[in-house]
Amino acid sequence: MNIKNVLRDKSRNAIFSVTSETTVYEALQQMAEKNIGAVLVIDEGNLTGIFSERDYARKGILQGRSSQSTLIRDVMTSKLITVSSEQKLEEAMLIMSEKHIRHLPVVDEGELIGIISINDVVSSIIKDQKARIQSLESYISGSPY
């Protein structure tokens, strides 16, 4: 299964973003409204970072920063790890596991086309496994699949 399949199967494939000049508070409000754990940082059409709940906790709260006066640029992760839509889902899982990250922007030929989360990955794997099990059960019972 490729990452493009995960993006296609997502119930919501919108890209939510802020700029590096957005306050942490404003970004957190957007994340709460959308029920998401991370938001991409896009400046002048370019992907410049990602801001996650983990960034807020480690670089904001624990360092005594105010969410209403701290800008995203001061707490975002700017060393981005991205994947392409043609990469295998297993590769994304490995990256997420090794790098201890929960979100991966998907970039094809320099263009941002989406983002996948660990939840998207797990949901896709479960869906794929259910389909395989159903196919095997149909094969074993002699039913057409």
Among the listed ranges 15-29, 36-50, 91-105, 129-143, which one has the minimum average pLDDT value? Answer: 129-143
- pLDDT (0 to 100) of residue 143: 72
pLDDT digits (tens, 9 = 90+) for 51-87: 999 999 999 999 999 999 999 999 999 999 999 999 9
pLDDT category of residue 144 using cuts at 50, 70 and 90: low
- pLDDT (0 to 100) of residue 98: 96
- Report which of 7, 24, 2, 1 is spatially closest to residue 116, judged by C-alpha positions: 7
pLDDT category of residue 136 using cuts at 50, 70 and 90: confident
Taking the C-alpha atoms of residue 44 and residue 46, their distance in angstroms, rounded to an integer, is 6
Taking the C-alpha atoms of residue 76 and residue 53, their distance in angstroms, rounded to an integer, is 10
- pLDDT (0 to 100) of residue 11: 66
